[in-house]
Amino acid sequence: MSRRRVVITGIGMISPLGTSAGECWSALLEGRPSVAATPASWRQYAETASTIWAPLPPIDWPAHGISRIEQMQLDTSGMLTLAASTEAIRDAGIAASLADPKKKTFRLDGLAPERCGVFMGTGVGGITSFYGNAVNHVMSPLKSVLADPTSLPPMPPRFNPFGVPAMMPNAVSALPGIRWSLGGPNLTFSQACAAGTVAVGHAFRAIAAGDVDVALCGGAEYLGDPYGGIFRGFDIARTLVTEGSDPQRANRPFDRDRTGFLFAEGGAAVLVCEEADAARRRGARAYAEIVGYAENFDGYSIMSIEPSGTRIVAMIEAAVRDAGCTTADIDYVNTHGTGTAVNDEIESAVIDQIFGSKPLVNATKSLTGHCIGASGGLEAAVTALSLAHQTTHACHNLEQPIRDLRFVRAAGPYRIDTAITQSFAFGGHNAAVVMKRIA
């Protein structure tokens, strides 16, 4: 059987830049990042080298279809996923009919549930829910033995009985599968910062191979625990940006003065991917076609990219081959682009070696911050939007590039026919998705 074609027909996004794909895309084009001082309350627990982050905007959960009861039951990573999936399905023009009002489940009109899959990535799943229950568990007995229990840090009011389903990483796949009654493969990928890209790649493969006709795919993450302990974990590993004189200018991937990545509170991106003929028959609008995917593994270090970049080069070349292209066809590279010294040094050398200075190069994380397991999904969405609108965003704060590549210095219209979005993760996982403009 020849490989089936796969198109992206719906996009949902929540990130520090906004609570819809439209808001995120506008903020990217306008160069409006979300940068703020970390919560002052975190400092009572530890001083950190980095003191800025990319917080999410306030989210009106009921407006995103998340009830008061669900807010008590679900981890924020799960709520972000459900919200992004709702937007993506609406955006794809797929109508949903209420299946069970009590469970709040829906059926997607015109789609066979067993032919629809879910492929989501997350770095740490419901870690903040686990954290909340752990704090409650340990601190509750202290209340009765301390002379002044009011001196205890604030803790969650209860040991949440839904702590287990909230913390399990597969909730980010299970929840949209339940909400939309999807009975095909339902998979969760946990390759840290590459998880979203891996998830999109596997959704592409499943549709291309004929295993499913429709897939919800992308990534989700939530890291904003009330104590800053998750932030501290990244900070103590010296991966985070230190702000210098101007916090707004601190996050600067591929710049000589970069100091690390901007920690994001969280985010989610969900793409609706479909077999191209079926999408055309139902009159769906397509943003882009996914044409290739590859993944491999450094086998080198749990926290650092293999310095020669050999495995990344092999992975990118394999993705381009899988797309039936040559490296000369690539017009746009959505980089992993974190802003750490090591990542940007190796990634820029790899791009130079493979593509030279022909393709446009930008770093979505220069504006969103690093949403870890959500980032690959968000960047796949940004790549699809860049192809659809023939427009992309700038590499924010880039003043002195570390290498002579064609970095996007100003948002605006660009001719982009073929694009690649790539991610490299803690652990050593490398993955890239290749997309084409809809002709």
Partner 1 sequence: MPDTGIQERVASTIIDVLKVDADLVGSDKRIREDLGSDSLDSVTLVMALEDEFGGSINDNDAKSLTTVGDVVSYISRRVEEKSLA
Binding site for partner 1 (CB under 8 A): 67-69, 72-73, 101-102, 104, 157-158, 160-162
Active-site hit among 202, 370, 396, 429:
370
Q: How many CB atoms lie within 10 A of CB 65?
A: 16
Active-site hit among 116, 202, 273, 336:
336
Torsions phi, psi for 92 (to 5 deg): -80, -5
Active-site hit among 24, 64, 116, 193:
193
Torsions phi, psi for 42 (to 5 deg): -65, -30
**336 given a catalytic annotation:** yes
The secondary structure of the chain, three-state, reads CCCCCEEEEEEEEEECCECCHHHHHHHHHHCCCCCEECCHHHHHCCCCCCCEEECCCCCCHHHHCCCHHHHHHCCHHHHHHHHHHHHHHHHCCCCEEEEECCCCEEEECCCCHHHEEEEEECCCCCHHHHHHHHHHHHHHHHHHHCCCHHHCCCCCCCCCCCHHHHHCCCHHHHHHHHHCCCCCCEEEECCHHHHHHHHHHHHHHHHHCCCCCEEEEEEEEECCCCCCHHHHHHHHCCCECCCCCCHHHHCCCCECCCCCECEECEEEEEEEEEEHHHHHHCCCCCCEEEEEEEEEECCCCCCCCCCCCHHHHHHHHHHHHHCCCCHHHCCEEECCCCCCHHHHHHHHHHHHHHHCCCCEEECCHHHHCECHHHHHHHHHHHHHHHHHHCEECCCCCCCCECCCCEECCCCEECCCCEEEEEEECCCCEEEEEEEECCC
Q: Which CA distances in Å does 411 have to 79, 332, 395? A: 31, 13, 8
The minimum distance between CB 102 and partner 1, in angstroms, equals 4
The two three-digit tokens of residue 321, written as one number? 């081959």
**370 given a catalytic annotation:** yes
The two three-digit tokens of residue 376, written as one number? 């690959």
The minimum distance between CB 223 and partner 1, in angstroms, equals 24
**193 given a catalytic annotation:** yes
The nearer residue to partner 1, 18 or 156, going by C-beta atoms, is 156
The minimum distance between CB 160 and partner 1, in angstroms, equals 8
What are the residue numbers of the active site? 193, 336, 370
